[in-house]
Amino acid sequence: MSLQNILSEKVKLAISQLYNASLDTVEFQATRKEFEGDITVVVFPMLRVVKGNPVQIGESIGTFLVEHVDEVINFNVVKGFLNLVISDAYFLSFFSEVSDFSSFGKVSESDNAMMVEYSSPNTNKPLHLGHVRNVLLGYSVAEILKASGKKVYKTQIVNDRGIHICKSMLAWERYGNGETPDSTGLKGDKLVGNYYVKFDQEYKKEISQLISEGLTEEEAKVQAPMLVEAQEMLIKWEAGDEEVVSLWKKMNGWVYNGFDKTYEAIGVDFDTLYYESNTYLLGKEVIKEGIAKDVFYQKEDGSIWCDLTEDGLDEKIVQRSDGTAVYMTQDIGTAIQRAKDYPDVGGMIYTVGNEQDYHFKVLFLILKKLGFNWAENLFHLSYGMVDLPSGKMKSREGTVVDADDLISDMAATAKKISEELGKIDDFSEEEKEDLYHMIGLGALKYYILKVDPKKRILFNPEESVDFQGNTGPFIQYTYARIQSILRKAGEVSNISFDGITLQSKEKELLKQLQLFPETLQLAASQYSPALIANYTYDLVKLYNSFFQNISIFGAEKEIEKNFRVQLSSAVGQVIKTAFSVLGIKMPERM
């Protein structure tokens, strides 16, 4: 039983015996640093059932706990806050009972399965900084859910069809002269992305020409020959035109290969892929069923709608008058298909930017109205955009921050700062390159994941690779320092530490370690990697304070040295676990 559960039961007993009253819940919080204590009971909420002065009530409960709870050895009351001092024996007992801190906090996989969707790129351009936040969030949430005991399927839907794909195809056909990734040395997604930019450049020239001939801007945009030809190409693709489909397959194949290399470099993976070209017609059968169930209705022009006004939303089209599907239709069908493909999935998490908040409210509500029980467990992991100091990104104009370039730049920044610190002179060139990649990627991931998903991020590469402060490299460096201590200590006997008197820095570390399982479960329930990131930073700050103030190898007694070495080891293992669910690797030396 956890300390809070023990204390909660005893506080309720105290209220019952001292005041003949019944208390439903007990509110706890961390004791403020300026007061003595390890955990604080908040007295004010008790005034609903106990009348009196909160200080006197706190004194009475504190005295009762000291007399009846072995773990409580002292207390003090500040206004309506009862600060409890917990015995060293309790924390040492916790430390001794954890046989393996490398798996501390993790829960064995259950039959409760979740599907997490992330990335879902378009195949007309490379992955960019916006995709990076999406991928890092989705992957980390999947890993956190796994560690918390869920079975997890990682998935994405690849947006591989539509007018934007045809724009790249047409530009390559016109201006590509048959070039390929092999002939140019470019990654396939970059090559195709260049032609998406080329289309936009040529399209704008045509618009300008038409305007000079007397058309309005709106007329010119619609009548520009390049756009008309791209639209014709899309119609041919939908009709299964052999030549167009062959070009589509070839260029998409280039892009898939490029994506795979980027995902490998970022360090993320997927269990299953869905392709829009296979799913865009899904959902049309569901529309018919929805009309029969009065979930949808047909307008005079033949279009089909869902009226959600009674639910505080508006009317939403689910099929055009010409019978073609809209994105909503496709998303309805894809969700249902996934539930069929993975019947053990009890819920799905969609990692998509906050500009789609309304879309997912509508999608989830429609699925509930269609009668799918699992629709109660759908969640939109909404996140804010990522900005750079230089401003907003636009992919069609070629001003995006390419994910591959970003990863490379982060490694270069890590190299520059590492060389300035001068602590890796004995590394081989290969070891140095691996380290730069690990630090650069760790810096990028941590900088993005430590922020609450809903908040917008201004990403500063230099700041993220700082070896001081709330950064990935600062935490990686502390982990490497711990590994150095463990190498120096060699084999340490695993003995009982009963009877040791803990110093305050040691006690603070043990308290923080104890919070990890609870933090992991909370991060899983809130789909928030930021909780793990900031927990780890707090743990590292406490460890560094311990390291600077308490001598490990200069301890007076061998038992104290052994304890501090093992405490260091436990901290290192928890840091590694925490960073592993964030998708960040740890260097053994730095």
Q: What is the pLDDT of residues 475-531, one digit of tens each?
A: 999 999 999 999 999 887 667 787 789 999 999 999 999 999 999 999 999 999 999
The answer on 449 and 308 residing in a single domain is no
CA distance 43 to 434: 53
What is the structure's pLDDT at 494? 65
What is the structure's pLDDT at 394? 47
What b-and-e string marks burial along 485-510, b requiring 16 or more CB atoms within 10 Å of the CB? bbeebeebeeeebeebebeebbbbbb
Beta bridge partners of 345: 113
Q: Is residue 267 part of a domain?
A: no
The answer on 306 and 408 residing in a single domain is no
CA distance 222 to 207: 9
What is the structure's pLDDT at 427? 87
Q: Is residue 494 part of a domain?
A: yes
Q: What is the pLDDT of residues 14-62, one digit of tens each?
A: 999 999 999 999 999 999 989 999 999 999 999 999 999 999 999 999 9
The answer on 555 and 435 residing in a single domain is yes
Phi, psi of 233 (to 5 degrees): -65, -40
Q: Is residue 158 part of a domain?
A: no
Q: Is residue 139 part of a domain?
A: no
Domain termination site, one of 86, 114, 143: 86
Domain termination site, one of 86, 119, 152: 86
The answer on 575 and 463 residing in a single domain is yes
The answer on 421 and 558 residing in a single domain is yes
Determine the structural domain holding residue 81 and report its residue range: 3-86
- Say how many domains are in the chain: 3
What is the structure's pLDDT at 391? 53
The answer to whether the CB of 49 falls within 8 A of the CB of 39 is no
What is the structure's pLDDT at 1? 67
The answer on 521 and 407 residing in a single domain is yes
CATH number, domain at 461?
1.10.730.10
Q: Is residue 504 part of a domain?
A: yes
Q: Is residue 223 part of a domain?
A: no
The mean pLDDT values, 10 residues at a time, for the chain of 590 residues are 89 96 94 94 95 95 96 96 96 91 93 94 90 96 97 95 94 96 96 95 96 95 96 93 97 96 96 91 87 94 95 94 86 94 95 96 96 95 85 50 89 86 80 93 96 90 86 95 94 76 95 96 97 98 97 92 95 98 94
What is the structure's pLDDT at 129? 87
What is the structure's pLDDT at 486? 96
Joined tokens for residue 387: 């900005």
Q: Is residue 513 part of a domain?
A: yes
The answer on 561 and 422 residing in a single domain is yes
CB atoms within 10 A of CB 448: 27
The answer on 576 and 427 residing in a single domain is yes
Beta bridge partners of 386: 457
Q: Is residue 586 part of a domain?
A: no
Beta bridge partners of 353: 383
